[in-house]
Structure 1
Amino acid sequence: MTDTPADRLARQMAFLVEADRLKEIFRQTLNSQSRRQENDAEHSWALCLFVMTLAEHANAPVDVLRVLKMLLIHDLVEIDAGDTFAYDTSRMADQHEREARAADRIFGLLPEDQAHEFRALWDEFEAKTTPEARFASAVDRMQPMLLNCLTEGAAWRKHGITRERILERNAHIAEGSRRLWEYASTMVEQAVAAGHVPAK
């Protein structure tokens, strides 16, 4: 049965109200000026700005609008699943399962066609098999690295994260953009040299 226009709008508004909760999900990275924890909505905005600014550095030409759509929705699942710190290996064990359940619920609030589109974009981001998903993933990893460098390695130091772990965890940035990975690697080496992150 097809939704009436009023039903469709009601479902879309319910989704948008739910999505507003993303502002309350806080990450380990700190904002560069206030030094308070960044929230997921701020992170998503920053990623979109990264894409608009840096898309020319993707390894392959990308559909920028598709990348932006992916990045605007990819962390909505954290409303239910919470933010999983990039170096928390125990929480990563069931991360995809928790987030997939959240994707079912949150995208399921939308009218069927939009629910299908948003879930397909989320699945594409997770699979990282398209140039768009690989570039989206690259900026998703690079942005918190930049914040850590701008805050003297605050989150890295808090959790005892070493240069080796940072480089290992983020190396797949190169799959989306070799140029961004070179830049990010240089940032990390500068952080090590400044004493903001241990080499080992």
Structure 2
Amino acid sequence: MNTEDLLNQIAFIKEIDKVKYIQRKTKLFNSDRNENDAEHSWHLALMAIVLAEHSNEPIDVLKIVKMVLIHDIVEIDAGDVFIYDTQKSHDNTDEERLAANRIFGLLPKKQAQEIIAIWEEFEAGETNEAKFAKSMDRLEPLLQNTSNEGGTWKEFDVAYNKVYEKKSVIKKGSITLWHYAEGLINESVAKGILKKD
């Protein structure tokens, strides 16, 4: 047994506990409590397992589970940027890159390299797995907002065109899930919980 590797792995495990304290803007289903990053990642992992059959292309589900479980760990340092933020880009890659190197760098070198590569693949969004993982990441808050009578859309005065633009990423991973999501978006407009200009 390599004691140094084990101690580094334990240090990483302790560090990522901080993900539980990162509050997202989106609230839990039918609730007024904000979701945290750990809950979000756990939910995406189960969604990926359950919804994998709807992927546009053949996918490695275990790889997707890894992606969604680690994708927001960088927010320990970089913070969570609201997808509809008008002041700061949701793609704060420089800050996130520094965070990835520091946090994943706590692990033994080989593990760190593997996890950073998976994180980079998710961020690039080009492989079948990354496209499907990003579909999960966009679908979950849509489901939450529709369950909460508009949720963050109403709270932050987000318009239909912004929601449609951000959620259309879903179709890159799953046309089936995009049709479902598009229906929810249109229903939300009809119900008056999402404003259309």
- TM-score, length of structure 1 as denominator length: 0.95
Residue correspondence of structure 1 range 63-142 to structure 2 within 5 A = 63-92=60-89, 95-142=92-139
8 Å CA contact 2:75–2:96 kept in 1: the answer is yes
Amino acid corresponding to residue 16 of structure 1 in structure 2: I
8 Å CA contact 2:67–2:118 kept in 1: the answer is yes
Report the aligned-residue RMSD: 1.2
User: Corresponding residue for 1:11?
Assistant: 8
The answer to whether residue 58 in structure 2 is matched with residue 61 in structure 1 is yes
Secondary structure of 2:87's match? helix
Distance 1:82 1:93 in 2: 11
C-alpha distance 93-55 of structure 1, shift in aligned 2 (>3 A): closer
Shift of 1:176: 0.6
Shift of 1:88: 1.1
Q: Deviations over 1:112-153 (max 9, x none)?
A: 000000000000001111100000001101101110111111
Distance 1:122 1:90 in 2: 25
Shift of 1:191: 1.1
Distance 1:20 1:135 in 2: 26
Shift of 1:93: 6.9
Secondary structure of 2:88's match? helix
**What are structure 1's unaligned runs of at least 5 residues?**
none
The answer to whether residue 52 in structure 2 is matched with residue 39 in structure 1 is no
Amino acid corresponding to residue 39 of structure 1 in structure 2: N
**What are structure 2's unaligned runs of at least 5 residues?**
none
Shift of 1:90: 2.7
Q: 1:157 aligns with which of 151, 154, 179?
A: 154
Number of aligned pairs? 197
Amino acid corresponding to residue 25 of structure 1 in structure 2: I
Q: 1:26 aligns with which of 15, 23, 26?
A: 23
C-alpha distance 86-196 of structure 1, shift in aligned 2 (>3 A): same
Amino acid corresponding to residue 22 of structure 1 in structure 2: V
Shift of 1:33: 3.8
Distance 2:5 2:190 in 1: 55
- TM-score, length of structure 2 as denominator length: 0.97
Secondary structure of 1:92's match? coil
